[in-house]
Structures are given as structure tokens and as C-alpha cells.
Amino acid sequence: MREGDLILSTRGGENEILLLVSFERRRRIPAGDSGRCTKRGLATVQALAPGEQIKVALQNGGTIHGKFQSASETDLVIARAAGQKPLTRENVRSVSIKHSHRGLHALIGAAIGAGAGLGLGASIDNDCTKTSFVCTGNRGKAILTPAFALIGAGIGAALPSAGWQHVYVK
């Protein structure tokens, strides 16, 4: 197990449902770093992976979208369809990276779906009497919990989730 792992466990008689969910961020922006024009803010831009989608706001009010190529103390190079675009630090107002919460939305959807499936499965399994037409035993919980978790994860992943995060602001 690593830092950031989450374990959900439900015990019910013979059946045990154990769900291990691991999530980790692709890149960690240092806590408390608002990306202000400091050596630390510039280091954050320089640490970006080449080819990563970025948006640069310019001092003249324009914006440039492209893929990050490289950065130094004085320059920033962006790859665009028309070729590479070098920018000086004086012309850059802010740099933002594209990020997505799709994984988090899928995780939340899976948890909600698993809870709904477990509840529905428990109610179906509880209705097992001599006059019942269908008696499922504990199979309702065992089948509906993962099925609803998958449905919830799919719905969560389908939600719109892209946005821009500032990594440098002058």
C-alpha cells in the first residue's frame, strides 16, 4: 500500500467485498506555490514535461495554445502547428496547464454506484421467504454492487472535466 490508497471493505457473513482504490497525481504542484513570478514559479514551468498541452497568456492580452517544448530563466518555447514559437519572459503574463478530473469523477461515480448496488442487492436478498418467487441468497449484493460500480464509474468518467491550472503568474 502507498500513500493515497483508499480501502473500502464491507463484511457480510460469508461474502466479503474489498475494493482497493489507488490514486496518485500525475504531477504535484508544490503546496503554497501560487506560481508567482519567483524562482520557484519558474522552476515549476521548467519542470513541465515536453509535449504537454499549455496555454500562455501574453502581456498584450493575447493567448497562445500549444505544446510545451522547453523553458529557461529568460525564454519559453512552444510547439504549434505553424512551428516553434519562442517567447521571452517579459512577454508572458501567465502559463497554464490542461488538467482533468476525469479519474476523480470516475472514482466518485464508482463509489456512488457501488453503494446503490449494495443497497439494492441487500433489499433484493432480504426478500427471501417461503412464498418468494425468486430467492437469490447473497447473490444480489455480489452481482449488483460491482455492476452498479462500473455503471457509476462510466457515468463519472463521461462528465466534462477539463480545465486549466495556473503554474506561473507574473
Instruction: Work out the angle at residue 122's Cα, subtended by the Cα atoms of residues 16 and 132, and round it to the nearest 5 degrees.
Output: 125
Tens digit of each residue's pLDDT (9 = 90 or more) over 117-161: 999 988 888 877 777 777 777 788 888 999 999 999 999 989 887
CB-neighbour burial class of residue 25 (10 A; exposed 0-12, middle 13-18, buried 19+): exposed
pLDDT of residue 96: 87
The model's confidence at residue 28, banded by pLDDT at 50, 70 and 90, is very low
The percentage of the chain sitting over the pLDDT mark of 90, rounded to a whole number, equals 16
Residue 109 pLDDT class (50, 70, 90 cuts) = very high
Structure confidence at residue 153 (pLDDT): 93
pTM over cut 0.75: no
Phi, psi of 23, rounded to the nearest 5 degrees: -140, 140
pLDDT band at 79 (very low <50, low <70, confident <90, very high): confident
What's phi and psi for 115, nearest 5 deg?
Answer: -65, -45
